[in-house]
Amino acid sequence: MREVTTQYDAVVIGSGPGGEGAAMQLAKKGRNVAIIEKHSSLGGGCTHWGTIPSKALRHSVSRLIEFNSNPLFVGDLRPRSLTFADILRHAQGVIQQQVQMRSGFYQRNDVTVLHGVASFEDRNTLKITQADGTIEYIGTKQVVIATGSRPYHPEDVDFNHERIYDSDTVLSLKHEPRSIIIYGAGVIGCEYASIFRGLGVKVDLINTRDRLLSFLDAEISDALSYHLRNNGVVIRHNEEYERIEGHEDGVTLYTQSGKRLDADCLLYANGRSGNIEELNVENVGLKPNHRGQLEVTGAYQTEVDNIFAVGDIIGYPSLASAAYDQGRICATEMLEGDCQKRLVSDIPTGIYTIPEISSVGKTEEELTEQKVPYEVGRAQFKHLARAQISNMAVGSLKLLFHRDTKEVLGIHCFGERAAEIIHIGQAIMEQKNGGNTIEYFVNTTFNYPTMAEAYRVAALNGLNRVRD
């Protein structure tokens, strides 16, 4: 029997959004909680390699594009360029602020922070291997697995090559590429295509499917394709690599269709895998699927009744925002044994391309397939005073609503600030007892000029299509 040094009520493995949500909820209810983080800094992949750095990069590039396209700034006032290294420095500053803030959360709530790699000895005992090789065993009544995910690495791609990156290692890009191949046109691939093209880098975006982000409303997906192409991104649909070769000064990708693509570097962004290997979950009888993910109940309980899992390690929806809520719901189940709360039915999607995309609810394709009698209301940003003032005229807001009941069924937004704009509509969609109708947007007075005014414009546009 291993000697257990400390006993806890609950141990959370991983300090990303899911782990933080669970740990905070448990600690605030008086539980003795420890959180285990394998890296030297708290925050998980979301803070260090995913959401925070990529969105900080995107923000800097977007502001550069905005500045360069503004007719007020011409001649000597216009900056020549920003390098990838320049904008990375801004991202690092944001990361440090996030780490400092999150460290304060654990200190104020008396959560013990342990750094090291966690693995199961049994359902109530965890082994922690620290960076210097020191091993410690701790005991716990309950466990939350929130270890997140990492970029998928196919075996035939040499990720040790200095010109071949994934979405984690691209954040340590040292040289200034003139061209890049991005393999995988999912959310991450499209976001980085926008970032690099905004910096003037030639981009080949390789999509293994027949259209970009096929889960989106087709009109929004088409708008993204148009604007990426209009900005100079070369999109290649229905392509898969045959082999990828790294050279001293670049990378060559050969497609299965016989094409050869050359670039200064390659970003592989096609899929992610759950961080499950080091946990030794077989010691407690858990079996992950082929993507390294665990099956859970609606309250995030695994097949082992005292072990729970949240975030990317359980798969869909793989969003930082949802993971935090999952952690709180999971903690409530651990505390009370019966948590009736669930994630909201309509989880908003935020995609930080340039321009950005956000949506919530049904798409036109889904409503058509379900034979729902719906109508569409649209507002073009170019017609809004606020968009004209800020020189952000690209984009639109699209409302889908039931022809008879006027219930809002879906909201889709493309353009700058889309991820903020969507929440107004989301709040109305969540109203019960007849509170969710498109008429709310007509009967409500919005500040003027604002981007939110798009809701009134779109609602009037849609209602004008409906004949009584």
Is 184 assigned to a binding site? yes
Is 290 assigned to a binding site? no
> Is there a contact between 326 and 21 (Cβ–Cβ < 8 Å)?
yes
3-state secondary structure of 222: helix
For 265, residues 6+ apart whose C-beta sits below 8 A from its C-beta are: 163, 164, 165, 173, 175, 177, 180, 181, 250, 251
Between vectors from CA 284 to CA 281 and to CA 289, what angle results, nearest 5°? 45
Instruction: Extract the runs of DSSP E, i.e. beta strands, from 297-452.
Output: 307-309, 349-351, 357-361, 374-380, 395-402, 408-415
Is 55 assigned to a binding site? yes
3-state secondary structure of 237: coil
Is 45 assigned to a binding site? yes
Is 390 assigned to a binding site? no
What is the bridge-based pairing of β-strands 251-255 and 395-402?
Answer: unpaired
Number of Cβ within a 10 Å radius of residue 376: 17
Is 189 assigned to a binding site? yes
What is the bridge-based pairing of β-strands 307-309 and 272-274?
Answer: unpaired
Is 46 assigned to a binding site? yes
Q: How distant is the alpha carbon of residue 276 from its chain centre?
A: 20
What is the bridge-based pairing of β-strands 135-145 and 125-129?
Answer: antiparallel
> Is there a contact between 243 and 256 (Cβ–Cβ < 8 Å)?
no
The label of the residue with tokens 């690099």 reads 196
Distance CA 302, CA 432 (A): 32
Is 191 assigned to a binding site? yes
Is 144 assigned to a binding site? no
3-state secondary structure of 349: strand
For 345, residues 6+ apart whose C-beta sits below 8 A from its C-beta are: none
The label of the residue with tokens 């044994």 reads 337
> Is there a contact between 355 and 416 (Cβ–Cβ < 8 Å)?
yes
Is 39 assigned to a binding site? yes
Is 16 assigned to a binding site? no
Q: How distant is the alpha carbon of residue 183 from its chain centre?
A: 18
The label of the residue with tokens 């409530």 reads 332
Is 354 assigned to a binding site? no
The label of the residue with tokens 């209301």 reads 377
Is 14 assigned to a binding site? no
DSSP H helix total and E strand total for the chain: 12, 22
Is 382 assigned to a binding site? no
One-character DSSP codes across 418-438: HHHHHHHHHHHHT--TT---T
Is 248 assigned to a binding site? no
Is 287 assigned to a binding site? no
Between vectors from CA 412 to CA 411 and to CA 414, what angle results, nearest 5°? 150
Number of Cβ within a 10 Å radius of residue 367: 20
> Is there a contact between 202 and 232 (Cβ–Cβ < 8 Å)?
yes
Is 225 assigned to a binding site? no
Is 321 assigned to a binding site? no
Is 273 assigned to a binding site? no
Is 292 assigned to a binding site? no
Q: Which residues are annotated as a binding site for NAD(+)?
A: 184-191, 271
Q: Which residues are annotated as a binding site for FAD?
A: 37-46, 55, 147-149, 312
Q: Which residues are annotated as a binding site?
A: 37-46, 55, 147-149, 184-191, 271, 312
